[in-house]
Amino acid sequence: MVMVSFNVIICGGGLGGLACAIGLKKKGHNVTVLEASSTLSEVGAGIQVPPNSVKILKEYGIFDKFEKLVTRPKNIILRRYDTGAPLSTTPLDPDMTETYGNPYLLIHRADYQRFLLEAATELGITYKTGCRVKEVDPETATVHLESGESYTGDVVVGADGIRSKVRDTAVVTEEVVSPLPSSNCAFRATVPKEEMLSDPVIAHLMTDVNSNCWIGYRRHVMAYPIRNGEMYNIVMSHPGQASVGKWNEPGDVNEMRNHYKTFDPVVRQLLTHVKSVLKWVLADLPKLPRWVSKSGKVVLIGDAAHAMLPYLAQGAAQAIEDGATLAEELDKITSVSEIPTALLSYQKLRKRRPETIQAGARKNGDIWHLPDGEEQEERDALMNARDGHNPDQWSDREFQQWLFGWDAFTSTYPKA
């Protein structure tokens, strides 16, 4: 129950900012989202939605609409890059629901964003596009836009991604926090359902619904159907460089195919159907000294606070968890003067979890990208063993429980 309604300004209307807006609006706050882009991004790429974020969508009461847009994979299958032989299979549907109470889903990023925007605007949040944040004054909680306009609230949320202006101008001001580009880039592409089904070598990828991931030296291909089976999504991680934070640089299709010339014939056949690719560098952030400004009025969520490599598919999920916990902590106070206490409490409850996942994602990348040899053979034997510790953290029972079992509203693990 809301005792007081705060004016909250969220900088950045990506997945994290929009979900946070929904969480705060449902608690009765006045929410304005300032988004730099003038239109909703239609970047053609899939995203995995793990049980820990499905839980939040359900709690917000918006899951039913969302469910119509998703695909439910049966398993995540890690495969040897050159033969396609399965190395490790993580059962997803119905196992995730049985174990964690919520399913593991796949969705088109643009559908996810559109759905969250619709839900947020139906609830009555104000969403302003073409509002590029230049800087934030942490003392007055005032957001200054490049256009010259300003907005002042009781609290400012920085949800403006890996190159956050909110972080750099109001939260961590003593040094420039540069994103850490990894040595890998990702190509992203989609193939329409009809084209997939017309080719007998790859049709099974569409009809036998799984997340497949072929792992090899410094490269992998992660692929799965999205948009309720309307298209096939392919993410191809490989050594290379692109601009940090740019999600839509065109890539070279021949270069892309060349990167995977030693891969499973099924992958190579799949890639013959790719007409164009986008690429971006995979980068993360170092641990930040704080997520809350010294004034106690500005707070970071999502990639602005803890951008991570995608090797555990948790970046957006963690951004969504941040918003849920932030709304709970603000709900515990009754006056504007207590906002710094609520924000620090949010930081205390949250900071370590995404930072652990950041490190876990780096580690998973290293494990997936081993060269062939003794270490890779040991890894494969452990992955196949099925009991005990699995070097792929996604499949490791203990890590999985920690990752997917979290309740961001109570910041606890529900009792079994």
Q: Which is nearer to ligand FAD, 240 or 382 (CB)?
A: 240
Q: Tell me the pairing of strands 211-216 and 75-80.
A: parallel
Q: Find how far residue 170's CA is from the centre of its chain.
A: 24
- Among 6, 12, 170, 267, contact with ligand FAD (rule: CB under 6 A): 12
Judge contact between 266 and 223, C-beta under 8 A: no
Tell me: does residue 284 bind ligand FAD (CB under 6 A): no
Tell me: does residue 33 bind ligand FAD (CB under 6 A): no
Shortest CB 119 distance to ligand FAD, Å: 15
Q: Which is nearer to ligand FAD, 185 or 330 (CB)?
A: 185
Q: Tell me the pairing of strands 277-284 and 298-300.
A: unpaired
Task: Compute the distance between CA of residue 28 and CA of residue 77 in angstroms, rounded to an integer.
Answer: 43
- Among 310, 354, 360, 405, contact with ligand FAD (rule: CB under 6 A): 310
C-alpha separations of 140 from 31, 53, 229, 297, 343 in Å: 17, 33, 48, 8, 16
Tell me: does residue 236 bind ligand FAD (CB under 6 A): no
**Four-residue CA torsion sign, 371, 90, 211, 363:** negative
Q: Give residues 133-162 in contact with ligand FAD (rule: CB under 6 A).
A: 133, 159-161
Tell me: does residue 24 bind ligand FAD (CB under 6 A): no
Nearest of 107, 111, 117, 114 to residue 46 by alpha carbon: 107
> Interface with ligand FAD by CB under 6 A: which range of 10-18, 83-91, 148-156, 168-176?
10-18
Tell me: does residue 15 bind ligand FAD (CB under 6 A): yes
Q: HSE, CB side, 13 Å, CA atoms: give it for residue 145.
A: 20
> Interface with ligand FAD by CB under 6 A: which range of 129-137, 173-181, 189-197, 377-385?
129-137
- Among 5, 37, 140, 178, contact with ligand FAD (rule: CB under 6 A): 37
Tell me: does residue 324 bind ligand FAD (CB under 6 A): no
Shortest CB 253 distance to ligand FAD, Å: 18
Shortest CB 416 distance to ligand FAD, Å: 25
Q: Which is nearer to ligand FAD, 53 or 376 (CB)?
A: 53
Structure tokens of 282? 């995979």
Q: Tell me the pairing of strands 155-158 and 277-284.
A: unpaired
Number of other residues whose CB lies within 10 A of the CB of residue 123? 16
Task: Compute the distance between CA of residue 303 and CA of residue 15 in angstroms, rounded to an integer.
Answer: 10
Shortest CB 318 distance to ligand FAD, Å: 7
Q: How many residues bind ligand FAD (CB under 6 A)?
A: 32
Shortest CB 104 distance to ligand FAD, Å: 10
Tell me: does residue 317 bind ligand FAD (CB under 6 A): yes
> Interface with ligand FAD by CB under 6 A: which range of 31-39, 54-62, 97-105, 382-390?
31-39
Tell me: does residue 129 bind ligand FAD (CB under 6 A): no
- Among 8, 22, 48, 116, contact with ligand FAD (rule: CB under 6 A): 48
Shortest CB 82 distance to ligand FAD, Å: 23
C-alpha separations of 254 from 8, 54, 275 in Å: 47, 37, 10
Q: In which element (H, E) is residue 235 found?
A: strand 231-239
Q: Which residues pair with 47 in a beta bridge?
A: 107
- Among 156, 226, 235, 349, contact with ligand FAD (rule: CB under 6 A): 235
Tell me: does residue 323 bind ligand FAD (CB under 6 A): no
Tell me: does residue 266 bind ligand FAD (CB under 6 A): no
Number of other residues whose CB lies within 10 A of the CB of residue 111? 18
Q: Give the N- to C-terminal CA distance of the chain in Å, as an integer.
A: 27
Structure tokens of 295? 């004034």
Q: Give residues 174-203 in contact with ligand FAD (rule: CB under 6 A).
A: 186
Q: How open is the CA angle 23-29-32, to the nearest 5 degrees?
A: 85
Tell me: does residue 47 bind ligand FAD (CB under 6 A): yes
Tell me: does residue 92 bind ligand FAD (CB under 6 A): no
Strands (E), 4-138: 7-11, 30-34, 46-49, 75-80, 86-91, 105-108, 126-128, 133-137
Tell me: does residue 354 bind ligand FAD (CB under 6 A): no
Tell me: does residue 105 bind ligand FAD (CB under 6 A): no
Residues engaged in binding ligand FAD (CB under 6 A)? 11-17, 34-37, 47-48, 131-133, 159-161, 165, 186, 235, 282, 302-303, 310, 313-317, 319
